[in-house]
Structure 1
Amino acid sequence: MQWKQIKTLFILCFLILDVYLAVLIINKQDETEVASMDTAEKSFEQQLDSEDIAINADLPDKSFEESNVELKQKSFTEHELAFFDDIDNQQTKLIDNKLILSRFDEPVSIPDGAGSDKLTKLMKDRVPFFDDYTFGGWNEDMNVLMFFQTKNDVPIYYNQNGILLVYLDDDNDMLFYTQTMLVKQNSPTKDEPLIKPIGAIKKLFNSNRLEYGDKISDVSMGFYTRFPLEGEQVFSPTWTVTINNQNKLYVNAIENKIYPSDEVTFLTGAVTSTLEKLQTLEKDNELKAYMTAHLKNKLAMIQDSE
């Protein structure tokens, strides 16, 4: 009887020892992994320093989860277009229920040195659904203002089916605009873990997209689609890395892939597409003739600069 008690005691002691050793091993592995991560992080920081590349943006260090978003182009209704009934100084036309064309009877002047806030204020009461757009930039090559549509409070980058383009003359007066929108599909997708902002910067660095002396001035979240096609599209959460307060690079936050960011190519495609759709209007349409002439001039500006 006494031997059985001693045997049981030994077994319990060995079990406790095994648990203790297992905890030690797990803690050691965790310490090793953390040390490896710290070393890799430090190593990457040293690489940036060697190229005089500075991160001047505040990078969030929390974990992010987001899902792809399925969107399709919106068809505007007559009720929605009643917005223009109370708007002066605009001639408006709708093509295929999806593309709004609107000309200002009298060009709208932009104050000198106007930033995104003033430009937004100028457009706010002149465009339907304007609260669903955010200022995306002023392309000086074609003299066009870009306002990206937003979803989940973040912008959808460079998509012809969800963008507001405002065309300016040589005096930077607003002449007319084109507008499209995207709407969300009902099919939900599962949230996925996203790479951290520092991971997007590392991807750009390892892909030779960062140059000696670059300063990373901002990192923000948006949506981008790899295949900007007609109909339903899938948009992925994307990190936007702003370099030297002007150049923007885009990294898919799920797949860690770099997206193209040729703004002039995008605008050239948007102008060409609008020109094609204008040809569906009646031959003697005044708006058609006016916009066609100006859009062809925008394409000529790009050709002359090449």
Structure 2
Amino acid sequence: MKKVSFAEFGGPDVLRLVDAEEPHAGPGQIRVAVRTAGVNPIDWRIREGQFQKESRTSHKPLELPAGIGQDAAGVVDEVGEGVEGVRAGDLVFGRGAETYAEFAVLWFWARMPEGLTFEEAAGYPSVVETALRIIRESGVEPGQTLLVSGASGGVGSAVLQIARERGIAVIGTAGAANQDYLRDLGALATTYGEGWVERVRQFGRVHAALDLAGSGVIRELVELTGDPGKVITIADLTAPEYGARFSAVSGDKTKALAEAAGLIARGRLHIPVEKSYPLAEAAAAHADSQAGHTRGRRVLVV
């Protein structure tokens, strides 16, 4: 089979499309014929080697060469021992390992809601699990206000819609081109850049804050909330220096995927796909993701 791999840490150009042995489903796992794979910022952070010496996250050092990717949507073609409720031919989306490939093993999955395309489905797994997790970790309650820095990407799009569903008010920061997009998702919107802290203050009290972009704003988010324990980041490894928390992967991912499927089916959650790329153009997808200003998700089509 074909898969995307890298033999050294570095920029997008280290990614190569190579021939590889097919993986197989072990106990508690399924294998899918991948139709689309989600591109997440954590993918290029891993590719750069950011977690190799970082003790403040749960990521283990990676041995090279290695495949890449953790989200996929596809057709089940192997079911591991002990797995129930799914069979070959089912359409699923979920999380696993080395999903930038023609076949991938998933550890957590849910059936694709009716009407959802493969391209759309691959954009949900990590994004929704992360959104649900960091909202929970922030401790924000219905009726309170959540500040989201870097709100227009995939995780931000999910946070804004889930918060709205739960009665949580949201202030979102993003580039000028994405202000209407944030407002359409129910957020109070403002741009980042000079004076952004004062612009946020004009909206009123901030009870908790999420940093999704890693743009060096942890100090300001702590200042706005008045409590470093109410500031969560998924992108800034320096957060603990300010008393804030770096949120790594945890929690019940199967439950998160099931909740996502329910929200999608009810029309309460929609994350647009900004751009799709052929599998062979994974490097271009990474470069575009790192450039920022994403509205929604980027996916690879196998």
If the TM-score is normalised by the length of the shorter chain, which range does it land in? Answer: under 0.3
TM-score where L is the length of structure 2: 0.23
- Please state which structure has a larger fraction of its residues in helix: 1
